[in-house]
């Protein structure tokens, strides 16, 4: 049996005993050096706070920490348990799903603290980046872009490739975020544009370049089983429940966070109903499909990433969720297979339907809601506050703001597509230890699997073999018994 398994086993090019440790060590040491040179505590996390507080007549509760920490922890759960477990749905790639997610997010957030620091909060007088709780939230956000891309690549790339995807993904993210939020002065607190739209197209473009014509050889592993779908539901639910925190984590204090939570909560509820409805409607037998439930029920929140902090109204949020549940399920049923057939685009988790399209639409929804904002609805101060109409942007009209929001969406798509193609080409260099086409979606390639596992599964695998090639395997199976 063991032999049989090994003969099917991964090719030796998945050997990563040199490459993975090398990458991890070199990059981690680089992080230590760069952190040493650049990163310091900000005013609110430095021990000088005691004096600063007195000087500014503040109390401890004014520390930014108390406004952001609960949201931060929710976001943190989404990144590691949410994304991680959502990707355990494949029956034999659950370790890879949750484990590689853990690895690349842990690297990504370090690199994000640096990249976002350089672009957003480098103090030019001291040459230092000062970090606080909001930096941690942003670092988690920044990782999310690369984790979304991982969704499109799940099961088809090596951990070293994923580290490369993350290195470039975080870098590209920091640049596009700088352009969209700082130069174009868009609002995008929940990242419809900068996170989901970018991350989705980034992953799709990489996957398109890395097209595997013979992926069907791994067909047997490209599905779920009863348990793995339940594990994936853990991911789905933690994403779903904590998405109000995701969208509100860095919005304005007070009404900003409050309103964002309400809007996201409402949009999500609406998505669930239409996702279930469409899932049943698209099936000949009217049964629900776990893939749709796990993913499309989240689409409403993705599309609210920009608009949730605006006065989109509760029923506006319901409407967004309503259509996103429909569009996303439709995507899973029709668009993903179409993309694979026609565009040679293999998208394991369907990030096209959960992130790319809802993120893009979310960007445009945000543009429309921004363009139609009025002083009557927001109040004079509210409008200034929500759209940060200060300094040189004080006089920008709301119509113009809407135009910039739309432009921002296009920037994120462009960064995703172009960046993804370039990174895809880099990953095509045959040094990264990815598996052969017939061994995708298999943890065997990169993980020590529990020994007993092979035996537990073998009767079943045997069984399956029996079912598919009945007649001829009597000899084979008796051979198996003899082996023991």
Residue 13 within binding range of a second copy, rule CB under 8 A: no
Q: How many residues does the chain have?
A: 484
Question: Is 303 a residue that touches a second copy (CB under 8 A)?
Answer: no
Nearer to a second copy, 208 or 242 (CB): 242
Shortest spacing between CB 392 and a second copy, in angstroms: 21
Q: Counting beta carbons within 10 angstroms of the beta carbon of residue 413, is it exposed (0 to 12), middle (13 to 18) or buried (19 or more)?
A: buried
Applying CB under 8 A, does 344 fall inside the site for a second copy? Answer: no
Region label for 155, one of left (φ > 0), alpha (ψ between -120 and 50) or beta (otherwise) = left
Q: How far is the CB of 323 from a second copy (least distance, A)?
A: 11
Q: Which is nearer to a second copy, 428 or 469 (CB)?
A: 469
- From the CA atom positions of the chain, what is the Rg in Å? 24
Q: Is position 311 an interface residue for a second copy (rule: CB under 8 A)?
A: yes
Rule CB under 8 A: say whether 45 interacts with a second copy: yes
Residue 245's nearest CA partner among 269, 234, 261 is 261
How far apart, in whole angstroms, are the C-alpha atoms of residue 188 and residue 177? 9
Q: Is 161 in the site for a second copy (CB under 8 A)?
A: no
Alpha carbon dihedral 333, 335, 336, 337, in 10-degree steps, equals 80
Residue 415 tokens, joined = 């960064």
Per-residue contact string for residues 244-283; x = within reach of a second copy by CB under 8 A: xx-------xxx-xxx-xx--xx-xxx-xxx-xxx-xx-x
18 binding a second copy? (CB under 8 A): yes
Report the site for a second copy in 315-334 (rule: CB under 8 A).
315, 318-319, 322
Q: Is 242 in the site for a second copy (CB under 8 A)?
A: yes
Distance CA 273, CA 296 (A): 10
192-231 binders of a second copy (CB under 8 A): 220, 223-227, 229-231
Q: Is 118 in the site for a second copy (CB under 8 A)?
A: no
Are 284 and 219 spatial neighbours (Cβ–Cβ below 8 Å)? no
* Encoded tokens for 289: 């499909």
- Exactly one of 8, 11, 21, 334 binds a second copy (CB under 8 A); that residue is 21
Task: For the CB of residue 412, give the shortest distance to a second copy in the complex, in Å.
Answer: 26
One of 4, 5, 13, 40 touching a second copy (CB under 8 A): 40
Q: How far is CA 167 from CA 23, 145, 162, 417, 470, in A?
A: 11, 11, 9, 16, 49
When asked if residue 421 is in the footprint of a second copy (CB under 8 A), the reply is no
Residues numbered 361 to 380 that lie near a second copy (CB under 8 A) are 377-380
Q: Torsions phi, psi of 48, nearest 5?
A: -70, -10
Site for a second copy in 54-83 (CB under 8 A): 54, 60-67, 69-74, 76-77, 80-81
């Amino acid at each position: 049996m063991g032999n049989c398994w090994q003969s099917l086993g991964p090719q030796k090019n998945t050997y990563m005993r040199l490459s993975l440790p090398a990458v991890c060590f070199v990059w981690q040491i680089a992080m230590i050096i760069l952190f040493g040179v650049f990163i310091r505590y900000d005013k609110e996390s430095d021990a000088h706070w005691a004096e600063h507080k007195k000087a500014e007549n503040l109390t401890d509760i004014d520390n930014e920490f108390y406004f952001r920490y609960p949201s931060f922890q929710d976001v943190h759960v989404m990144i590691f348990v949410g994304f991680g477990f959502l990707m355990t749905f494949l029956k034999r790639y659950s370790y890879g799903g949750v484990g590689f997610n853990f690895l690349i997010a842990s690297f990504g957030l370090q690199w994000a603290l640096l990249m976002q620091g350089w672009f957003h909060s480098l103090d030019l007088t001291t040459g230092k980046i000062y970090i606080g709780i909001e930096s941690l939230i942003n670092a988690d956000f920044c990782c999310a872009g690369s984790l979304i891309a991982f969704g499109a690549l799940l099961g088809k790339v090596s951990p070293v490739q994923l580290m490369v995807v993350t290195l470039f993904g975080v870098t590209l993210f920091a640049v596009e975020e700088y352009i969209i939020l700082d130069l174009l002065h868009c609002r995008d607190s929940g990242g419809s544009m900068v996170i989901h739209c970018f991350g989705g197209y980034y992953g799709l473009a990489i996957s398109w370049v890395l097209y595997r014509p013979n992926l069907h050889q791994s067909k047997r592993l490209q599905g779920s089983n009863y348990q793995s779908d339940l594990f994936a539901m853990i991911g789905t639910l933690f994403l779903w429940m904590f998405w109000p925190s995701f969208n509100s984590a860095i919005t304005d204090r007070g009404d900003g966070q409050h309103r964002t939570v309400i809007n996201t909560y409402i949009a999500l509820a609406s998505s669930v109903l239409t996702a279930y409805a469409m899932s049943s409607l698209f099936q000949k037998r009217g049964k629900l499909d776990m893939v749709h439930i796990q993913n499309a029920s989240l689409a409403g929140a993705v599309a609210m990433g920009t608009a949730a902090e605006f006065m989109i109204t509760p029923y506006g949020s319901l409407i967004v969720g309503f259509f996103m549940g429909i569009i996303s399920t439709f995507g899973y049923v029709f668009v993903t297979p179409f993309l694979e057939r026609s565009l040679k685009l293999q998208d394991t988790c369907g990030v096209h339907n959960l992130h790319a399209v809802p993120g893009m639409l979310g960007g445009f929804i945000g543009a429309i809601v921004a363009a139609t904002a009025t002083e009557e609805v927001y109040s004079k101060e509210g409008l200034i506050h929500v759209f940060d109409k200060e300094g040189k942007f004080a006089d920008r009209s709301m119509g113009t703001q809407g135009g910039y929001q739309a432009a921002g969406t296009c920037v994120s798509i462009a960064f995703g597509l172009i960046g993804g193609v370039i990174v895809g080409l880099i990953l095509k260099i045959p040094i990264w230890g990815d598996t052969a086409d017939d061994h995708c979606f298999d943890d065997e390639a990169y993980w020590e699997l529990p020994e007993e596992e092979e035996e537990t599964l073998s009767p079943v695998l045997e069984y399956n073999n029996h079912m598919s090639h009945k007649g001829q395997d009597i000899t084979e199976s008796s051979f198996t018994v003899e082996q023991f």
